[in-house]
Structure 1
Amino acid sequence: MMSTKAFTLVPAVEREQLMGDRERVSLECVECCGRNLYVGTSDCFVYRFLLEEKTVPGGSATFTATKQLHRHLGFKKPVNELRAASALHRLLVLCDSSITLVHMLSLEPVPSGARIKGATAFALNENPVSGDPFCVEVCIISVKRRTIQVFLVYEDRVQIVREVSTPEQPLAVAVDGHFLCLALTTQYIILNYSTGVAQDLFPFCSEEKRPIVKRIGRQEFLLAGPGGLGMFATVAGISQRAPVRWSENVVGAAVCFPYVIALDSEFITVHSMLDQQQKQTLPFKEGHILQDFEGRVIVATSKGVYVLVPLPLEKQIQDLLASRRVEEALILAKGARRNIPKEKFQVMYRRILQQAGFIQFAQLQFLEAKELFRSGQLDVRELISLYPFLLPTSSSFTRSHPPLHEFADLNQLTQGDQEKVGVQVFTKRPVDEQQSRFNPDDIISCLKKYPQALVKYLEHLVTDRRLQKEEYHTHLAVLYLDEVLQQRPSANGKDAERSRLTDRIRGAGLPMESAILHGKLERHEEALHILVHELADFPAAEDYCLWRSEGRDPPARQRLFHLLLAMYLGPGPSAPELAVAAVDLLNRHAAEFDAARVLQLLPGTWSVQLLCPFLTGAVRDSVHARRTTQVAVGLAKSENLIYKYDKMKLKGSSVRLSDKKLCQMCQNPFCEPVFVRSWGGGPDGSGQPPAALSEVEEHRGQWERVVASPPQVLGRGDAAASARREEHVDKAPDRFRG
């Protein structure tokens, strides 16, 4: 729900003006007739105020209520209802089950003392049937059980004209002509008191909520229906308007076209009669009175009176257009027809249509804009002037004032995105025209130079027109992939951009493409969820695991296959096809699973025979792994034994060094008592030791060279042998220093 400011709440009568220091006195009812505001209180007083409306420079309204007089009615009960009969200059006051006639200005009872006794509630007939201009028709709920009485009220007398029985005890009444709209104990009905014909409307529980029955127009009523609905009903017992949804605890309702206003103990809510949407919410605590008087809406608490001042409809419409809420603005403008003179309305409505057209044009909704321009009789030069240099230099055209839009030219309107505008030329045409006049393949070829436009056009073909041609889907997926893979994670927030792109693809109804993108982003769980739960393509899920595990180490492959198995066996209602897929996965790819983990996941009801291939493969792999480990351990022990033998043999020999001896690798003399001994052949791989080394010691075939610091091993052999050789680094004794 988007809010609309339709009313402002303005105080009218403060507590001090009514009660002064009397804490226990409360306001019970109000009536407004012209500039006269009447208030009835709990201590049986009636007050008359003169209500003056003023407009401050900012455009908002204020009210000043000046107390004229007040009068006690002579009872000890509160004043229940007040109704003005301006044609008779009388005020009808309901107090202590009696309706008293008092003068509208002096509040003095009529000299004749005429009154209607035995009334619990009453309503004036604003569509009278008597034809007598010197009386008003009053319908009362009588204290007599299940009885409605109709009176004619004159300046100084009253006359009963009809008494009608009702199926149940009436609680609230509104009248229009011969028709009574009644809230009974368990239902609402329409009753023609002239013919006695009753029409049931809908159920109502008087024990749960307060009834609301209000005449809102000729032969139409507003009722508080079940389920928190404001229901409209005609005298024929039908509804010509959709209901509005308001609070379950509504205590009052009023109509100020085109709005329905509802009151509960916390808020005032405003609902549109045109589209049934809630438009505004105003906090208002402890309110218990809401009434409309000739277009003026008054609300009250037990301590004060307030006026709901409507904003001009033109301002409301312009606010909606400024918020780009075109449809709401047009609905409100059409609804305002009844309140605005015809000629003024036509001028206003044409301008609104033109403004709405430019809003749609800016949103690239060209067809909608065209219809609005035509309906609003737009001067075509307003549109041409958006295109730079298109108007002839001799043209004296100036744009409308106030302006119809906020754009200097087309470039500003499109925010420099010419590709977006260009592709709309193809996508925003009627479908039949696209099919008959445009070949998608030709358009794709034309848009290859414009990648953004190409993506938008392919999205239009795949998601909007739902073309199933594989080439379009593949092309779009490839473009998405290119865009996603270019978004490398960095401090620039590209991860968020990736997520936005994948969400867009998902929302476009391309699940397979979305799964591929998730896979590229290493989001394997999301990808497998799409393949398993959305597409139910189990072979594709297995292929996905093989594809994404290619070239990975065994733990990575195992994690991927276990993720798929968990997807099949996950919590929730198990489908037979998922169980079959899980069995097939295990039996086909036994080598990719940790058998111990799998056995913990499997349901206890599965038979061994069902998983025979998997269990056989798992046992075979386990035995093979154990035997391979045993062989490796044996080889390591043998190698270690050889190493120990060589080490002991070498420790029994010695090497004599002096500063006259040269390193066999660099041919430099030794400067430090650090050297490395190697065996297994010379540096050239010939297996013959250098001559210089043979002169130092007679260890032919064992010593290859003597190397100065840093110590190195430059012999041949595997990595393990090299590691062993590097451990033979000794500090030479002092005698080796020469």
Structure 2
Amino acid sequence: MAFEAFTLSHVFEKPFHPKDKFNIQCVDCHPPNIYLGTKQGTVQHLTLPSTLNSDPSPAREGNARKLSNSPVLRLRLAPPFNHLLALCNRAVTVHDMFSLEAKPGFKKIQNVAQFELSLRDDAVWVVTCPSQRRLIRLHALGADRWDVLREIALVQEPVELAVEGDSVCVGTGDRYLLCDLTTGRREELLQHGHGSRRQVLVGAVAGAGEFLINGPGGLGLCVLASGMCQRPPLPWPQDVLAACVCFPYALSLQAHELQVYSLLDQQCKQTVRLSGALGLCSTAGGALVFTDRAVLRLSAVPGRQQIQALVREERLGEALLLLEGGHSLHTPEERKELQRSITCRAGFQHFFQGRFTDAKDLFIEGQLDPRELLQLFPDLLPTLPADFPPREEHRAAARELRELWRSDTDSELRYLGFLGDFLRAVRDGGSPAAAEEADSALLWLYVRTADSDGLLRLLAQPNACKLRACESILVKDGRFFALGQLYRSHGKHQEAIQTWVDIVDGVRRDTSGAEVLGLIVSTLSRLEDRDTVWTHAAWTLRNDQELGVQIFTRRSAEDHFPPEDVLALLETYPRAHTLYLEFLIYESSSEEAGHHTLLAQAYVSLSLQDPEDAETRGKLRRLLWDSQRYDVSAVYERLKPTPLHQEKAIVLGRRGDHIGALTLLVRDSPDTTAAEEYCLRLAGQDLLLSLLNIYLTTEGRSTAALDLLNKYALELSGEKVLDALPEHWSVQLIADYLVGAMRGTIHQSRMRTMQKALEQARLLRHKALWMQASHSMLRLDGTQSCDGCHNALTAPPFARTAGGALLHLDCANHSATASPLCAGPHSDA
């Protein structure tokens, strides 16, 4: 069935009778009233039984009145006043719309070739074209009179005109003009070049501020009152008799047919066959076409039916264009629903033809329910609800598609790739529609295409996969690592962990997830079910202590397990035990003495197990130096039988036995610099002297003592050093020390002398300023004011700063910068 924008029905037909002369010349309409003007000078009133577009019944004949023997060339209605205006015998007359009687008080407007009405909110204007005159005349129409308002001169005699608002479009013998009725300004639009005056057509688009004209070369042009064209031209025939606009369509009438053009894409949408058509009259929601003895009605098909017809014919682009452009045809809710439906249907067109980019964009724009796409894939049918209705119009195309997939694997992979792209786009867009089916389909797709990375990414995030259906898919394909992820994403942590434990223990084989143990730890560290954590913690520690301890160290601060319980569990796992103690002390800032003591003892044990482990010994030393919480006696007892001499020395120092610590470092430690570093860390001069004495009393350490003297000549007191040195050491042996010590002493003496001289100079400068200020005279005459409080100096006692500022004595005493260099007795106030 061909697309129909309008339906044709008969409104009125005058039966033929040889003696009855009745030939329709013009028509005008104001529903439910239709008025016919005949060539015999008669006006015929018709009444429709209902509104023009809802009832196909023919019109009833009403009054008829003979106006003249000349044809009635034009009828126009002014409903605000119930006026009927008729152009007959080159004169415009006014009649009552219902009785057709002439209105008294209205004089005929003589010598009129054409006229047109403008129904405004505040007035009714009549524009007339005087015969053989190059002007148009504007009249104001009232209830019982009319007045001439303005004349607008033209370059040529007008042939046809139309009025819209304040603008009038005039067609002359070779051009079209625009005139402003309020200002009288005129503007030439274009030259048409029509050879016949009958081809000069002008129509107003009611309420749009637009005119429809028959342009040159068989083009219908829509021109705004500003003179601009906002639409492309309509390619209609050359021999157009009449034209009008019924948005979003333009109707062009010829003798034997009427063509319907879309103003949205300028294409001819419908052709209505007619016989003997003479003219066209625009109405609300359609148009009237009249022949010599009949009137036919073109009624617009409801917009939804038009769009559905285009969709049935697979003219989806036209349907969308009509939907977008024909806003007045639908309610906002209908438009939104239709747009989604048509957009999705257009997407399926592209999908079946393999144009995936266009299909994806249209599916997303139309908010396609993913299930409508999933039902095309046989393997996904079990994931869909049993009551989900299939698309009947896709059945044939779906069968062809499946046959193609059976014979062409590459084609199937391309369609599967598109399915994945679309589902990911829907998922990323946050669409909640059919989330379970969409995520389940994605899981199946990743398994089907062996995309392990995509599968794990899906399951690592919150998802809406159907648990039982997806569980079956993963088990069937041996994806046990992903199965655990599926369990975990659905809150089944016990099942997830047990599945991964089976993989590690070799019960189930799956190489797709290399970090199974790490994932078990990550899950346990966030799990609130403590029974499950304790159940699997020991197993994890047996496999990897460093990973296993993270079950307890990665937990949130609010969810930590009691440290004593954890330490009890970790007693048989020394590496994990040490790491947990480090976590308690350095991250949780534990001040428990037991924790610090246990960590120190653990470091000792690890250092003894691997003497080459410098990192652990470094940690032990830092702990012994920095911590104030460990049990010194317990740690020393643990260190005492070990060869960890530097560590024993640190603990002895913590007990206050620095001499013992230094003696241990000098006599037992293989590191010759350890004792020196010990003294420097504690920053004590006495310790350096003690170390010197130990060196001097220890056999074979004379060279170390001499090096210590030379290195720390400034820090070691010369008097105490000389008392400690053996008597048999010569001056030449300690010459370097003596030179260094004397140089330091002399330097310090000179610095003290220089500082004393600078202070004396400063004192002299202040004395000079004081003397200068105190021996000068200052007259106080009541005009001076205190620079501190800005009040007048009215009494002799005052103070003056070195800079010359005058202050009250109280202000000077409270000022941090002022000093009273002179006082009242030195003035002559």
Q: TM-score, normalised by structure 2?
A: 0.47
Correspondence for 1:188 = 176
Aligned residue in 2 for 1:337: 327
> Which has the larger helix fraction?
2
Partner of 1:212: 201
Residue 31 (str. 1) matches residue 31 (str. 2): no
Q: Which residue of the other structure, out of 57, 65, 76, is the alignment partner of 2:59?
A: 65
Equivalent residue, structure 2, for 1:326: 316
Which string of whole-angstrom CA distances, capped at 9 and with x for unpartnered residues, describes residues 596-651 of structure 1?
xxxxxxxxxxxxxxxxxxxxxxxxxxxxxxxxxxxxxxxxxxxxxxxxxxxxxxxx
Which residue among 39, 44, 47 is the counterpart of 2:41?
44
Secondary structure at the aligned position of 2:59 is classed as strand
Residue in structure 2 matched with residue 76 of structure 1 by the alignment: 69
CA distance in 2, matches of 1:301, 1:117: 29
* Change in 2 beyond 3 A, CA 1:296/1:323: closer
Which of 256, 259, 262 in structure 1 is aligned with 2:252? 262
Which residue pairs with 1:509 in the alignment?
A: none
SS at match of 2:129: strand
Report if aligned partners of 2:32, 2:50 keep a CA contact under 8 Å in 1: no
The aligned amino acid for 2:41 is C
The aligned counterpart of 1:373 is 363
Structure 2: segments with no counterpart, 5+ residues? 422-829
What are the Cα deviations for residues 449-480 of structure 1, in whole angstroms up to 9, with x where unaligned?
xxxxxxxxxxxxxxxxxxxxxxxxxxxxxxxx
The residue that corresponds to 2:102 in the other structure is: 109
3-state SS of 1:87 partner: helix
Deviation at 1:262, TM superposition (A): 0.5
2:218 touches 2:237 (CA, 8 Å); kept in 1? yes
Find the counterpart in structure 1 of residue 536 from structure 2: none
Deviations 1:28-55 (A, max 9, x none): 0111111111111111111111123699
The Cα of 1:5 is off from its aligned counterpart by: 2.1
Q: How does 1:411-560 map to 2 (within 5 A)?
A: 411-413=399-401, 416=404, 418-419=406-407, 422-423=410-411
SS in 2 for 1:390: helix
Kept in 2, the 8 Å contact 1:170–1:184? The answer is yes
CA contact (8 A) 2:3 2:306 kept: yes
Give the letter for the 2:104 counterpart. Answer: P
| CA RMSD of superposed structures (Å) | 2.9
Equivalent residues of 2:405, 2:412 under 8 A apart:
no
**Which residue number in structure 1 is paired with residue 262 of structure 2?**
272
Distance 2:30 2:223 in 1: 27
Q: CA deviation at 1:291?
A: 1.6
Q: Is 1:299–2:289 an aligned residue pair?
A: yes
Deviation at 1:24, TM superposition (A): 4.2
Following TM superposition, by how much is the alpha carbon of 1:423 offset from its aligned partner in structure 2, in angstroms? Answer: 3.5
Residue 343 (structure 1) shift:
2.1
Larger mean Cα displacement after TM superposition, 37-46 or 308-317: 308-317
Question: 2:316·2:342 contact (CA, 8 Å) conserved in 1?
Answer: no
Rounded to whole Å, the distance in 1 between the matches of 2:82 and 2:224 is 31
CA distance in 1, matches of 2:341, 2:372: 12
Give the SS at the match of 2:362.
helix
Q: Determine if the alignment matches structure 1 residue 121 to structure 2 residue 76.
A: no
Deviation for aligned residue 1:206: 4.8
Aligned partner of 2:394 among 383, 388, 406: 406
Change (3 A) 1:296 1:149: same
Contact 1:320 1:326 in 2 (8 A): yes
Distance 2:302 2:129 in 1: 39
Work out whether residues 285 and 300 of structure 2, in 8 Å CA contact, stay in contact via their aligned partners in 1.
Answer: no
- Which residue in the other structure is 1:171 paired with? 159
C-alpha separation between the residues in 2 aligned to 1:357 and 1:88? 54
C-alpha deviations, 1:85-125, integer Å up to 9, x for none?
11111111111122221111111111324443332111112
Paired letter, 2:22: V
Superposed displacement of residue 82, structure 1 = 0.9
Equivalent position SS for 2:394: coil
The 1:393/1:236 distance shift into structure 2, 3 A limit, reads: closer
Among candidates 133, 146, 156, match of residue 134 of structure 2: 146
User: Residues of 2 paired with 1:266 and 1:29: CA distance?
Assistant: 18
**Partner in structure 2 of residue 315 of structure 1:** 305
Residue 152 of structure 2 aligns with an amino acid whose one-letter code is V
Change in 2 beyond 3 A, CA 1:283/1:395: closer
Is structure 2 residue 355 aligned with structure 1 residue 358? no
Q: CA deviation at 1:338?
A: 2.9
Structure 1's unaligned 5+ residue stretches are 434-738
SS class of match (2:399): helix
8 A contact 1:114–1:156 mirrored in 2: no
The residue type paired with residue 94 of structure 2 is L
2:9 paired residue number: 10
Encode CA deviations 1:515-546: one digit per residue, 9 max, x unaligned: xxxxxxxxxxxxxxxxxxxxxxxxxxxxxxxx
Contact 2:276 2:291 in 1 (8 A): yes
How far 1:26 moved relative to its partner? Answer: 0.9
Distance 1:203 1:330 in 2: 36
Q: Which is higher, the Rg of structure 1 or of structure 2?
A: 2
Distance of aligned partners of 1:395 and 1:177 in 2 relative to their CA distance in 1, 3 Å threshold = closer
Q: Structure 1 residues 35 and 193 mapped into 2: Cα distance closer, same or farther (>3 Å)?
A: closer
Q: Secondary structure at the match of 1:52?
A: coil
- 1:193 deviation in Å? 3.5
Looking at structure 2, the residues matched to 170 and 210 of structure 1 have their Cα atoms a distance apart, in angstroms, of 13
Query: Deviation at 1:422?
Result: 4.2
3-state SS in 1 of match to 2:231: coil
Shift of 1:15: 2.0
Contact map agreement 1:354 1:404 (CA 8 A) in 2:
no
Query: What residue identity is the alignment partner of 2:303?
Result: L
Instruction: State the shift of 1:204 in Å.
Output: 2.3
In structure 2, distance between residues paired with 1:76 and 1:317: 49
Change (3 A) 1:190 1:419: farther
Aligned partners of 1:229, 1:23: CA distance in 2, in Å?
40
Q: SS where residue 39 of structure 1 aligns? A: strand
Measured against aligned partners, the alpha-carbon deviations of 1:273-308 in whole angstroms (never above 9, x if no partner) come to: 111111122221221111211223110111211111
What is the rounded CA distance, in whole Å, between the counterparts of 1:179 and 1:219 in structure 2? 8
Residue type matched to 1:25 in 2? F
Distance in 2 (CA, whole Å) between partners of 1:196 and 1:102 is 29
Checking the alignment, whether the CA contact within 8 Å between 2:303 and 2:329 is kept in structure 1 is no
1:672 aligns with: none
Deviation at 1:427, TM superposition (A): 10
Structure 2: distance between partners of 1:28 and 1:390: 68
The answer on whether the counterparts of 1:3 and 1:279 sit within 8 Å (CA) in structure 2 is no
Query: What is the alpha-carbon distance in structure 2 between the residues aligned to residue 394 and residue 376 of structure 1?
Result: 21
CA contact (8 A) 1:27 1:302 kept: yes
Question: Are residues 9 and 428 of structure 1, via their aligned partners in 2, closer, same or farther at CA, if it must alter by over 3 Å?
Answer: farther
Residues 463-509 of structure 1, C-alpha deviations (whole Å, 9 max, x = no match): xxxxxxxxxxxxxxxxxxxxxxxxxxxxxxxxxxxxxxxxxxxxxxx
Deviation at 1:3, TM superposition (A): 5.8
1:178-215 deviations in Å (ceiling 9; x for gaps): 32211011111112243333222221235335211111
The 3 A distance-change label for structure 1 pair 295 and 60 is closer
The reply on whether 1:85 has 2:82 as its aligned counterpart is: no
Contact 1:201–1:237 (Cα < 8 Å) also in 2: yes
- How far apart are the structure 2 equivalents of 1:331 and 1:140? 39
Whose RCO is larger (CA < 8 A, sep 6+)?
1
Is the Cα contact below 8 Å between 1:14 and 1:303 reproduced in 2?
yes
State the one-letter code of the partner of 1:398. Answer: F
Contact 1:355 1:405 in 2 (8 A): no
- How many residue pairs match? The answer is 417
* Residue pair 2:126, 2:138 contacting (<8 A) in 1 also: yes
**AA paired with 1:293?**
T
